[in-house]
């Protein structure tokens, strides 16, 4: 049985997607540009821009002359690839074999896929699905080459089996996917359509244009093979466990979880990825669905550790009459960090893995927000001088500031105190905090810290480090300037060691 | 003759038990772990015990600030700046920037904020099981003897040093901890006659030492070093520390 191929070409793949995401771009002329040496080149254009005379691969400056109102956006090659890949995955509903034709086309191997619906019906269905969303052009033929040519250079037709030659005859030589040099030579010699040279003997063509032209003609007509590389089908990280007898005990659930984890982790290990989050769904006899989820700080395939995380949550499941089906689904995976097998644990080097596992257990019980690490931030305002991070490995970008005295304990909110001050801009003599009077024996300061006007507004603070008669050390500040009308408010903000 | 042999055996067994409990025998010509000889002489074998639980009592936030700083200084001495620590507490009040002064790398501390006492105890035990940690500090209001015994058994296996900060001082009960400390601020020391607040100085009280002596001394923090300024033996000697 001869093969059948369908080619789908998205002439405006990325620009069409942008119009779907951003309503206001619909019906507008816009282009995606990239920097190429010292000039900006147009990579992709929208349908409207094409109709107003623009073409891809021209400098932006030229395009502006043709169309001054042209809107431009930056082009991301990865984004285009990702979109095409997603499209390819969507087309798996029609055939198990889908291949990418970068940058903007897809090949579908539809051999034997037209038992229930004819090819025409398929084309109609796909066209209807993409109407008003993506511009598409479809070609169907026995060979990849012919399907490509029909999709790109006709209005979209179906070449009946063994009839691809007649469809190719009127097309330009470009439709054979020839190299630019060959195309130029063909044009120079007056070959403007395929029928003018396709019947010439191959040996003559090879002498004039090299071997490539014979290969391409052969591929289009089906004499020569062409590789078809289908994408691999994404398979979800999911494991099911059916139980012959409904499970009612916690021990039974534990065994089920262990079983599922073993299977999943064996697969993950081969793919070199680890679990970041996973969900266990249990289906009870009476049809009730119960779920427990776990998350980890670092990708893990450590069965014992993952089991411990689930173990903390088993209590939440009510087996009642019994559970008949367990489904473990991994909702997030991440590449595993390369681990070096150590023969012995050096004393100086600490293994973060064990600590990460400890934190996982704690975060399952107490929530992710309970765990914090702090790194310095370049701000003078004390509340902003540290930032919380969750990553275990993140190192400070700047040194911890040491040049100014900072307390060991900082109150979450500065608390107002009553003071008696001898003269302005001097530290207080006494202050009352929580009903206790402290007489100040020694003091340092003031250290003025201004509000960061680009972040917040308010009064500055004049900080004093003071020590009372008992030797207890405090961090006090006065908010704002002295004023004859309003008495300045004093606060306590921390305790020094 | 018979009796003295018995005594010798008992003493040897006591030493073995001490060894298991984290009081490692001091080898000759080594420096003390903390550089605070006057303080460390009160512990069995003249060493600051690691791989065990220390209990710190502080009733006021002023005392907590000093205790935190002292613990930071001790941890730095023990681990040479590259350890990872876990600090379990009720609310975030410790200011990492201020701890840097006492030698510790603030980004090496993982803070865990928990509300319930039960959760803090659970997290403390879990953390103490983790061999890769250099220290676990836990702010607890209260701890019963059985709970402290359980933590002590955990560290005997993992050799992690635990520090318990007790804030509830009205009811102080017996615990299985190696030592009970109390650290209070005293007037700072100024160099020459320079004005302002000087170097941090604390009154360090060893209220209880298992198999050791109680003691009290003043410790100051000069130029990144803990140093004993003066020793006041306000507590009567109960007995000679074993191994001294």
pLDDT at A476: 92
For strands A137-141 and A98-101, give the pairing: unpaired
pLDDT tens digits for range A310-353: 888 888 888 888 898 999 998 888 887 765 554 544 444 556 77
Query: Where are the strands (E) in A285-341, listed by range?
Result: 289-300, 323-335
Is the peptide bond between B208 and the residue preceding it cis, with omega within 30 degrees of 0?
Answer: no
Find the range with the poorest average confidence among A124-128, A212-216, A283-287, B78-82: B78-82
**Band (B164; pLDDT cuts 50, 70, 90):** very high
Judge contact between A249 and A257, C-beta under 8 A.
Answer: no
Mind listing the pLDDT tens digit for each residue in A379-435?
889 888 888 887 777 888 888 888 888 999 898 889 999 988 877 778 889 999 988
Q: What ipTM does this complex have?
A: 0.82
Among candidate residues A186, A217, A232, the one where a domain is terminated:
A232
pTM greater than the 0.80 cutoff = no
- pLDDT for res B132: 85
More confident residue, A359 or A337: A359
Residue A364 lies in a domain: no
pLDDT at res. A346: 45
What's residue B92's pLDDT? 65
Q: How far is A480 from chain B (nearest CA, A)?
A: 23
User: Which residue of chain A is at minimal alpha-carbon distance from B85?
Assistant: A355
pLDDT digits (tens, 9 = 90+) for A35-58: 888 888 988 888 888 888 888 888
Is position A353 within any domain?
A: no
Q: Do B112 and A366 touch (CB under 8 A)?
A: yes
Q: CA–CA separation, B48 vs B178, rounded Å? A: 10
To the question of domain B50-241 being in CATH 3.40.50.300, the answer is yes
Q: Which residues of A221-230 are buried (b: 16+ CB within 10 A; e: fewer)?
A: bbeeebeeeb
Q: Residue A371's closest chain B neighbor by CA?
A: B112
H/E stretch holding B165 reads: strand B162-166
Average pLDDT of the segment spanning B142-158: 90
3-state secondary structure of B4: helix
- Contact check, Cβ <8 Å, B95/A412: no
- A/B interface, count of CB pairs below 8 Å: 172
pLDDT computed for residue B162 by the predictor: 92
Q: How far apart are CA A167 and CA A139, in angstroms?
A: 11
Work out how many domains chain A is built from and give that number. 3
Statement to judge: residues A219 and A335 lie in one domain: no
Q: Which of B78, B79, B82, B98 to mutate to test the interface with A (most CBs of A within 10 A)?
A: B98
Where in the sequence is the domain holding A437, given as residue range(s)?
Answer: 409-495
Q: Is residue A385 part of a domain?
A: no
Instruction: Clarify whether residues A122 and A253 are in a common domain.
Output: no
For residue A403, what is the nearest residue in chain B, using CA coordinates?
B101
A245: number of Cβ within 10 Å: 8
Whether A223 and A104 share a structural domain: yes
A45 and A70 both lie in a single domain: yes
Q: For chain B, positions 56-75, list CB contacts with chain A under 8 A.
A: 61-62, 64-66, 68-70
pLDDT tens across A65-88, in order? 888 888 888 888 888 888 898 888
Taking the Cβ of residue B101 and every Cβ of chain A, the question of whether any pair is shorter than 8 Å is answered with: yes
Q: Would the CB atoms of B95 and A410 count as touching at under 8 Å?
A: yes
Q: Which residues of A275-288 are buried (b: 16+ CB within 10 A; e: fewer)?
A: bbebebbbbbeeee
- Euclidean distance between the first and the last CA atom of chain B, given in angstroms as a whole number: 24
Residues 13-42 in B contacting A (C-alpha not used; CB under 8 Å): none
Alpha helix ranges (H) inside A169-224: 180-188, 202-209, 212-221
**B244 band by pLDDT with thresholds 50, 70 and 90:** very low
pLDDT of residue B233: 56
Q: If we measure between CA atoms, which residue out of A132, A129, A172 comes closest to residue A8?
A: A129
Check residue A474 and give its pLDDT.
92
**Which pair of tokens denotes residue A454?**
């680009």
A313 falls within a domain: yes
List b or e across A2-11, with b for residues whose CB sees 16 or more CB atoms inside 10 angstroms.
Answer: eebbbbbbbb
Say yes or no: A141 and A163 in one domain.
yes
Claim to verify: residue A226 and residue A252 sit in the same structural domain: no
| Cβ <8 Å between B97 and A472 | no
- Which CATH number does the domain housing residue A270 bear? 3.30.1490.100
Residues A414 and A265 in one domain: no
Query: Distance from B114 to chain A by nearest Cα, in Å?
Result: 7
**Rounded alpha-carbon distances, angstroms, from residue B181 to A429, A450, A463, B166, B188:** 32, 40, 32, 10, 20
- List strands edge to edge, sheet with A30-36: A39-45, A30-36, A71-74
With respect to residue A63, please indicate whether it lies within any of the assigned structural domains: yes
Do A203 and A250 reside in the same domain of the chain?
no
Q: Which two tokens stand for residue A57?
A: 């691969």
Lowest mean pLDDT: which of A248-257, B15-24, B218-227?
Answer: B15-24
Per-residue pLDDT for A492 more than 90? Answer: yes
b (16+ CB within 10 A) / e for B17-30: ebeebbbeebeeee
- pLDDT confidence of residue A54: 85
Mutate to test the interface with B, among A408, A441, A493 (most CBs of B within 10 A): A408
CATH number of the domain within which A35 lies: 3.30.70.270
| Partner-chain residue, chosen from B93, B106, B119, that has the shortest CB–CB distance to A409 | B93
Q: Is the pLDDT of residue A241 over 70?
A: yes
Instruction: Say if residue A133 is in the same domain as residue A16.
Output: yes
Pair (A222, A245) in one structural domain:
no
Q: What is the pLDDT of residue A423?
A: 77
In a domain, A144, yes or no: yes
Least confident interval from A62-76, A346-360, B168-182: A346-360
């Amino acid at each position: 049985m001869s093969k059948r191929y369908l080619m789908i070409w998205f002439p405006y793949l990325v620009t069409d997607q942008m119009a779907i995401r951003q309503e206001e771009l619909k019906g507008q002329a816009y282009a995606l540009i990239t920097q190429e040496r010292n000039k900006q080149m147009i990579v992709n254009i929208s349908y409207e821009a094409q109709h107003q005379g623009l073409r891809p691969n021209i400098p932006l400056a030229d395009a502006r002359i043709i169309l001054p109102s042209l809107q431009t956006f930056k082009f991301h090659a990865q984004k285009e690839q990702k979109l095409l890949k997603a499209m390819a995955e969507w087309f798996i509903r029609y055939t198990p074999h889908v291949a990418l034709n970068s940058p903007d086309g897809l090949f579908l191997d539809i051999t034997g896929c037209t038992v229930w619906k004819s090819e025409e019906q398929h084309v109609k269905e796909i066209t209807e699905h993409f109407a008003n969303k993506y511009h598409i052009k479809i070609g169907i033929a026995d060979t990849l080459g012919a399907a490509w040519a029909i999709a790109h250079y006709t209005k979209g037709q179906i070449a009946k089996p063994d009839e691809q030659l007649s469809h190719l005859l009127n097309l330009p030589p470009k439709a054979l996917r020839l190299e630019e040099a060959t195309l130029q030579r063909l044009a120079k010699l007056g070959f403007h359509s395929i029928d003018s040279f396709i019947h010439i003997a191959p040996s003559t063509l090879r002498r004039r244009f090299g071997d490539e032209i014979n290969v391409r003609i052969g591929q289009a007509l089906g004499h020569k093979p062409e590789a078809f590389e289908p994408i691999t089908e994404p398979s979800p990280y999911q494991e099911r466990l059916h139980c012959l007898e409904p499970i009612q005990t916690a021990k039974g659930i534990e065994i089920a979880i262990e079983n599922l984890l073993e299977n999943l982790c064996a697969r993950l290990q081969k793919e070199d990825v680890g679990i970041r989050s996973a969900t266990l769904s249990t289906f009870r006899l009476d049809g009730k669905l119960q779920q427990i989820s776990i998350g980890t700080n670092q990708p893990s395939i450590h069965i014992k550790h993952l089991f411990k995380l689930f173990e903390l949550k088993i209590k939440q499941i009510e087996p009642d009459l019994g559970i008949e089906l367990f489904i473990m689904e991994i909702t997030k995976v991440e590449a595993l960090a390369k681990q070096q097998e150590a023969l012995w644990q050096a004393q100086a080097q600490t293994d973060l893995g064990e600590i990460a596992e400890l934190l996982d257990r704690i975060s399952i019980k107490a929530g992710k927000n309970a765990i914090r690490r702090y790194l310095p931030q370049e701000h003078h305002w004390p509340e902003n001088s540290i930032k919380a991070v969750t990553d275990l490995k993140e190192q400070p970008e700047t040194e911890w500031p040491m040049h100014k005295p900072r307390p060991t304990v900082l109150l979450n909110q500065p608390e107002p105190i009553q003071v008696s001050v001898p003269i302005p801009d001097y530290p207080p003599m006494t202050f009352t905090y929580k009903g206790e009077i402290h007489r100040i024996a020694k003091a340092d300061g003031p250290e003025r810290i201004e509000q960061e006007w680009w972040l917040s507004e308010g009064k500055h603070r004049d900080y004093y480090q003071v020590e009372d008669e008992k030797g207890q050390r405090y961090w006090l500040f006065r908010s704002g300037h002295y004023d004859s009308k309003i008495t300045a408010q004093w606060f306590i903000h921390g305790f020094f060691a | 003759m018979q009796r003295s042999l018995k005594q010798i055996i008992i003493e040897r067994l006591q030493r073995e038990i001490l060894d298991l409990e984290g009081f490692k025998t001091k080898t000759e010509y080594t420096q003390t772990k903390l550089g605070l000889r006057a303080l460390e002489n009160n512990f069995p074998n003249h060493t600051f015990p690691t791989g065990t639980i220390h209990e710190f009592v502080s009733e006021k936030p002023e005392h907590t600030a000093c205790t935190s700083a002292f613990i930071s200084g001790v941890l730095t001495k023990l681990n040479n700046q590259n350890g990872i620590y876990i600090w379990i507490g009720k609310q975030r009040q410790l200011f990492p920037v201020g701890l840097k002064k006492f030698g510790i790398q603030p980004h090496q501390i993982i803070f865990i904020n928990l509300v319930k006492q039960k959760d803090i105890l659970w997290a403390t035990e879990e953390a103490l099981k983790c061999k890769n940690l250099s220290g676990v500090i836990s702010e607890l209001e209260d701890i019963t003897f059985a709970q402290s015994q359980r933590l002590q058994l955990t560290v005997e296996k993992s050799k992690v040093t635990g520090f318990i900060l007790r804030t509830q001082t009205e009811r102080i009960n017996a615990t299985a901890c190696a030592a009970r400390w109390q650290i209070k601020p005293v007037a700072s020391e100024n160099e020459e006659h320079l004005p302002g607040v000087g170097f941090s100085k604390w009154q360090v009280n060893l209220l209880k030492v298992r198999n050791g002596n109680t003691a009290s001394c003043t410790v100051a923090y000069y130029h990144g070093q803990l140093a004993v300024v003066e020793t006041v033996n306000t507590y009567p000697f109960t007995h000679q520390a074993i191994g001294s």
